[in-house]
C-alpha cells in the first residue's frame, strides 16, 4: 500500500472503529430513536456512512477501468475539496447533496458494524492494488467538489465520519431518559 494512501486509510478505519466502540452499549431502540420525523436516527446516520463509502468505492472500481485516460487532478477542485473538508469538520449543518436519500430505520448495530468492517476490507483491497501512477488522477466524482483523487476521496470519507459524529453525539445527548 502506498504511504500516500496508507495513513489516511488507517485514520479512517480507526475513526470508524472508535465510533462503533462508543455506541456498543446502545439498545436497538436507542439506535433507532429519531428526535423528530425529519431528523435521522443514529442507525440512519451509520447506514448513510456505510452507503457513502460502499458507493464511492464502487464508483472508483468502475472508473479505474479507464486507466491512463483518467483525468489529472485540478488545482480548483483540490481547493474546493479542501474547503469542503473544513466545512465537514465544523459543526456547521449543511444540506446533503440531492443524491442523498433518507434511509430506512430498521438497522441493528451489529449489522451496521459488520458492513462498516466489510467496507474497510474492500477499500483496503482496492488501495493495495491501486497503481501509484494513478495517485494524481481524479478517479472519484464528489457530488459537490467534482473530480478528486483517491487520497482526497479517502480523506473525504474520514471527514464525513467526523461531520456525522457531531450529529451522532447530538443524538446521544438528546436520548430520552426513558430508554
Q: What structural domains does the chain harbor? A: 3-174 (1.20.120.450)
Q: How far apart are the first and last CA of the chain?
A: 44
Q: What is the pTM of this model?
A: 0.88
Three-class secondary structure of residue 38 per DSSP: coil
Q: Each residue of 9-63: pLDDT tens digit?
A: 999 999 999 999 999 999 999 999 999 988 999 999 999 999 999 999 999 999 9
**CA–CA distance, 89 with 109 (Å, rounded to integer):** 24
Q: Each residue of 92-141: pLDDT tens digit?
A: 677 666 666 778 888 999 999 999 999 999 999 999 999 999 999 999 99
Nine-digit cell string for 41 = 436516527
Amino acid at each position: 500500500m502506498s504511504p500516500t494512501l496508507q495513513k489516511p486509510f488507517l485514520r479512517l478505519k480507526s475513526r470508524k472503529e472508535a465510533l462503533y466502540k462508543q455506541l456498543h452499549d446502545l439498545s436497538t431502540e436507542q439506535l433507532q430513536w429519531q428526535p423528530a420525523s425529519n431528523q435521522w436516527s443514529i442507525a440512519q446516520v451509520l447506514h448513510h456512512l456505510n452507503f457513502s463509502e460502499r458507493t464511492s468505492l464502487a464508483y472508483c472500481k468502475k472508473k479505474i477501468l479507464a486507466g491512463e485516460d483518467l483525468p489529472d487532478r485540478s488545482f480548483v477542485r483540490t481547493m474546493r475539496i479542501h474547503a469542503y473538508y473544513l466545512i465537514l469538520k465544523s459543526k456547521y449543518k449543511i444540506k446533503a447533496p440531492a443524491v442523498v436519500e433518507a434511509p430506512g430505520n430498521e438497522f441493528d448495530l451489529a449489522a451496521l458494524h459488520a458492513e462498516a468492517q466489510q467496507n474497510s476490507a474492500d477499500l483496503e483491497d482496492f488501495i493495495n492494488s491501486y497503481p501509484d501512477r494513478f495517485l494524481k488522477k481524479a478517479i472519484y466524482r464528489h457530488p459537490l467538489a467534482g473530480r478528486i483523487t483517491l487520497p482526497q476521496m479517502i480523506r473525504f470519507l474520514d471527514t464525513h465520519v467526523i461531520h456525522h459524529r457531531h450529529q451522532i453525539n447530538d443524538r446521544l445527548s438528546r436520548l430520552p431518559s426513558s430508554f
